[in-house]
Amino acid sequence: MNQKTMKALVCFLGVLVAFSAVSAASATQVQVIYTGTGGDVTKNKLVYNNIPKTTITSQVISAAKKGTPMVTFGNGNGPKVMIVAGVHGNELPASVAAMRLINYLEGKSIKGTIYVVPFVSPYSTSKSTRYWKGQNLNSVANKAGTPTNKILSLSKQLKIKALADFHSTRPGGVPGKTSILCTKYPTYESYRIASYVSKQTSSSLISEYKAGASYPGALEDVCNLARIPAVTCEVKSAHGTLAYGSTTKSYTQMMAFLKYEGAL
């Protein structure tokens, strides 16, 4: 191969790499993964007043009126990870943090694929109510037909490498402190993820041995039982409120999870 041909090849490869990076950065999709949960989250003024007012935010809000929205960053290749918020509609810091994360990721080059579900039940978030149709969605993820079970099924279908479910806990509640929850069996990677996020964010580490023992039907547990490494991340904030610093802490936990998984 002569020098001229070599230069041409190098130039072509450079253009190809640049194009791939741009493609990954621009491959953003907003879709509804479950209908029947839809609601206008702008009616929750604490949520609406604290999320960015951008095009991607408007797209998510529009999708949320129809059901559970999911935003995909990346082209479906590489390691796939999922961030979930709003399992409980009155735990607001995580949903606000997820919307900030979505706006941060928009236009960024992603190492793999990141899926973000900012409102599992937009209806519940719009009303700032804990339950959806009388159900605690974090105790029925093992029940077919529920929104959280849909997330489990989708995680299996997409071959998700790891999942993090973000919540807030009221003072005096369980766990009642900013923390990362995990289990060691049958998916020890849950403990490794939690240990890293705990250290990076100064969050307490709460570990149990067996998934599904204390919290059957919890999204984290059913994922771990399905061999999808999962953790639950909590920040302290009274239900229906945004305690000072809680949204930032939840966002920091999300970023630590993504960094551990090598997605950023």
Per-residue model confidence as pLDDT tens digits over 64-105: 999 999 999 998 788 899 999 999 999 999 999 999 999 999
Per-residue model confidence as pLDDT tens digits over 18-57: 333 333 444 589 999 999 999 999 999 999 999 999 999 9
pLDDT of residue 6 exceeding 50, the answer is no
Q: Which domains does the chain have, with CATH numbers?
A: 27-260 (3.40.630.10)
- Of the pLDDT bands very low, low, confident and very high (cuts 50, 70, 90), residue 14 is very low
Exposure on the CB side of residue 21, measured as CA atoms within 13 A: 9
DSSP 212: T
* Contact criterion met (CB below 8 Å) for 93 and 87: no
- Of the pLDDT bands very low, low, confident and very high (cuts 50, 70, 90), residue 121 is very high
pLDDT of residue 160 exceeding 90, the answer is yes
Q: Give phi and psi for 115, each to the nearest 5.
A: -110, 130
pLDDT at 75: 81
pTM exceeding the 0.95 threshold for the entire prediction: no
pLDDT at 17: 37
Q: State the DSSP H helix or E strand holding residue 239, giving kind and residue range, or none if neither.
A: none
Selection from 242, 259, 261 nearest residue 99 by Cα = 242
pLDDT at 54: 97
What is the length of the chain? 264
Q: Percent of the chain scored above 70 by pLDDT?
A: 90
Helix, strand, or coil (residue 210):
strand
- Of the pLDDT bands very low, low, confident and very high (cuts 50, 70, 90), residue 12 is very low
Q: Percent of the chain scored above 90 by pLDDT?
A: 86
